[in-house]
Chain A
Amino acid sequence: MRTARWLTVRVAAHAATLTVLSAVIFWATEVLPGDAVGVLSGQDATEAERASVREALGLDRPPLQRYGAWVVDALHGDLGTSLISGRDVGEIVGDRLGTSLAVLVPAALLALLLAGALGTAAGLRPGGWLDRVLSGVTLGLVGTPDFLVATALLAAFTVGWPVLPAVALVPAGQTLWQHPDLVVLPALALALGAFGATMRLLRAEVGQVVASPYAELARLNGVRGAAYLRLVVTNAAAPAVHAFALMTAGLLGGAIVVETLFNVPGLGQELTTAVAYRDVPLVQALGLTLGAATLAVLLVGDLVTRALTPPSRSTREHP
């Protein structure tokens, strides 16, 4: 019951956040120098031609009126059409979200697996050889820019040992979901770049739990093997789950480098282009989608944390 009320409050807060976000994004596109008229007209158009482009795009109306019209349409489920291509914005965002998720979901699962397994293994024996090796490797990966990881993978699997396609070319009429071979490299690149932070947090927490009197008592009482592992990990996981949720949310819109190199045009790449073209309706829709997805991921993270945390502590952590 308490969880239901907590959830309702959180969802309402998220809705409010998104409303404010839509205004902020609109305002941000307004203060950016230039508009789609300049982008579309190029440098050789006459003033009269510019004016007719402005009118055709509806950019001759005052900003408040445009924002108001957008809000009304958005509430009716119409996100408008792209100023540049005339395509339905909802359709573009749907396409890009699908592509992003096709890479993100396997990447996040892989990162979870790596972080969970390696973080626990290292934390069980802090200071041991495994811990030292893993610490070195993850620190290295955390400090390596995405494009280096991606380029190294490209060199290894498309040139050195050419077993995977370099670029994700999806045959006409199909989606990325139907082609796991196209997803392997980008997902691996994202997972390798991202799992380090979560893994290190988990390792630290596991180390702490292992050293606590509670774990010692359990060991003295003969708790061993899988049962002991479960006891340690469930007590240590909460902060790492938070970190993992944050990382996943970040990857959704922030995987631009990987999206570009492997030609998996997702939300991040689309947003970059939309901003360059001053395509306001598309920027709005992409921004809000990313915002909503981030809030949703964080919410799921919080729910998992709640489930992992013993009730006595939850009152303290979630007043």
Chain B
Amino acid sequence: MVPTTMRKAVAASAAGVAAAVMITGCSSTSTSEASVPQDSGTSTLRAAFAGGSTETLNYLQGPTALDYVRARLVHAPLCELDPGSDDGVAYGVVESIDVSDDLSTYTLHVRDGVTFTDGAALTSADVLYSLQAPVLLEGLPFTKIVARGFDLEAATTPDDATVVLPTLAPIADGRELVCQSMLAIQDGTTEFTPTTPSSGPFTIASFEPGSSTVLERNDDYYGAAPALESIELVSIADGTARVNALRQGQVDYVSGLAPAQARTLDDVDGISVTTSELPYASYLQFTMSTASAPLDDVRVREAIRLAVDREQIVENVYFGRAFVGNDLPALGFPSYDEGIPQREHDPERARELLAEAGAEGMSLELTVGPELAGMVETATLVVEDLRAVGIDAALRELPAGQLFADYQAYLAMPFRAGYNPPAPFEANHTPGTLPEVDALVQAARSGASADERLAASHAAQQLLWQQGNQLGVVFVPNVSAAREGVSGIRELQFPDLAQATVTD
């Protein structure tokens, strides 16, 4: 056992990790819910993730999916995104959130009776500290989403059960910001070790970065008691090795499979493959730089969007385990505009538009790297489709890690691959490309009534669909596989193992 002391250092790979961490919905997910956890006795689940030696208990700096899966089992969430519910969130140690009429103050009510593993009661001071921790402890940028919407320094705790958060500017979606990824930690926590007080359904019995973590059930957990007695999270970096370990019975469950690996498991008896459902799929997109000709011409951008055969990508790259995109983010979230028609594969129209714009035979280099399952393969097909409509397209493939490493170079690429983890559109919109869209998104976040806000959001999406600079071809879910007898795992963006059950 190596109790690792987490020090400064910042962590997280690319954007993937980013919002990646953020979503853990609560209902409306593809769960094989185990309604009655039977024999809550001596069961152990062995689950394998990519992990790696960069693993850390500090989820504010953790670069791998495993870091968040583990943190979510050890620390209770304040609340979670839950696109199906009235408030859009499911409550945790925060039992409700009130919004002032002028949308400028949020009041968080802390659940009574929640305790940390050291016996201390969880109070408003802990909740406020949990919200401030990403800034205080130098968390990675994606963890700081609450600080982007709220004035955390001016926040107050009038009593043990109440946190009052003033917004930086009036916003209606503050609940979604607070609930995107925030876990409850104790006031004053500066380092994360196996013995750091926590409040989640499990506690850490041992932690060896890059190898394994043993978690044991926390019998004092305030919520639904886990059926499992313990969970062993193992780190197996290579997807094929993960599949081999599952097939041989060395582990019960594996996550983060590539499409081809999942396919090899389809015909294996005693193993079932599961895919996270919408909205829990990453948005794989190719951004066109509008800074220079010919991509500054909206006709050229539309031609490129029409040239690509999305169905073919879903079939040939993902073997059907993906969702066709419509050049818009946040598919599956409540404010996603279902009314906008799906952009079809229309190479004829693409050629016409290119001719109108005088851009026939234009050359275009698409830069890509292996940062998301199927990203390079998708880009390869996109380039073929573009060639088919007369564009002199070429693919530039970077080694793993490099795509986002040099951010200035990334921004300067005329046509570049990227992806966004599942997250609501408005709060995660990056302004700067189309001012009109930016204004609409602002209205969608601060409008007086819900109808007004939705109308503004739809108008923004309409504009993005017509004039935007993203070719959004596909939404990529997380693919997992388990042996027979494993159930109750919620396939969110990252799997939630808290209510899993195991039988032989």
Residue B261 interfacial (CB < 8 Å): no
B471 CB → nearest A CB, Å: 15
Q: Which of B82-90, B294-302, B395-403, B446-454 contacts A (4 or more CB under 8 A)?
A: B395-403
What are the residues of chain B within 8 A of A96 when measuring CB–CB? 53
Residue B4 interfacial (CB < 8 Å): yes
Give the complex CA separation of A82 and B240 in angstroms: 27
Q: A40-B63, A43-B418, A166-B250 are in contact. Are A265 and B405 (CB under 8 A)?
A: no
Interface residues of A in 76-116 (CB under 8 A from B): 81-87, 91-92, 95-96
Give the complex CA separation of A96 and B240 in angstroms: 21
Whether B53 and A169, one on each chain, are in contact in the complex, defined by CB atoms closer than 8 angstroms, is no
CB < 8 Å: which of A35, A52, A87 contacts B405? Answer: A35
Q: A33-B402, A173-B206 are in contact. Are A83 and B141 (CB under 8 A)?
A: no
Residue B392 interfacial (CB < 8 Å): no
Q: A162-B248, A172-B214, A172-B232 are in contact. Are A263 and B10 (CB under 8 A)?
A: no
Give the total of B residues in contact with A, Cβ under 8 Å.
Answer: 67
A43 CB → nearest B CB, Å: 4
Q: Which of A10-18, A215-223, A270-278, A291-299 contacts B (4 or more CB under 8 A)?
A: A270-278
Q: A42-B142, A86-B6, A260-B238 are in contact. Are A273 and B211 (CB under 8 A)?
A: no
A-B contact pairs, 14 of them (CB 8 A): A39-B405, A53-B10, A56-B9, A84-B13, A85-B55, A85-B63, A86-B7, A86-B61, A87-B4, A158-B248, A165-B250, A263-B236, A273-B53, A275-B401
Q: Which of B16-24, B315-323, B435-443, B493-501 contacts A (4 or more CB under 8 A)?
A: B16-24
What are the residues of chain B within 8 A of A277 when measuring CB–CB? 13, 54, 63, 401
Whether B406 and A34, one on each chain, are in contact in the complex, defined by CB atoms closer than 8 angstroms, is yes
Residue A44 interfacial (CB < 8 Å): yes
Whether B54 and A44, one on each chain, are in contact in the complex, defined by CB atoms closer than 8 angstroms, is no
Give the complex CA separation of A237 and B401 in angstroms: 45
Whether A87 and B209, one on each chain, are in contact in the complex, defined by CB atoms closer than 8 angstroms, is yes
B177 CB → nearest A CB, Å: 14
Residue B115 interfacial (CB < 8 Å): no
Which residue of chain B has its CB nearest to the CB of A176? B211
A313 CB → nearest B CB, Å: 47
What are the 10 tightest A-B residue pairs by CB atom distance, in nearest-first order? A34-B405, A86-B9, A276-B401, A34-B406, A42-B15, A45-B141, A49-B141, A166-B244, A167-B245, A43-B15
Whether A167 and B241, one on each chain, are in contact in the complex, defined by CB atoms closer than 8 angstroms, is yes
Residue B349 interfacial (CB < 8 Å): no
Interface residues of B in 413-456 (CB under 8 A from A): 418, 420, 428, 430
**Known pairs A38-B410, A45-B142, A273-B54 / 14 extra A-B pairs, C-beta < 8 Å:** A39-B405, A40-B141, A42-B18, A43-B18, A44-B430, A87-B53, A166-B245, A166-B247, A169-B236, A169-B245, A170-B211, A269-B237, A276-B399, A277-B13
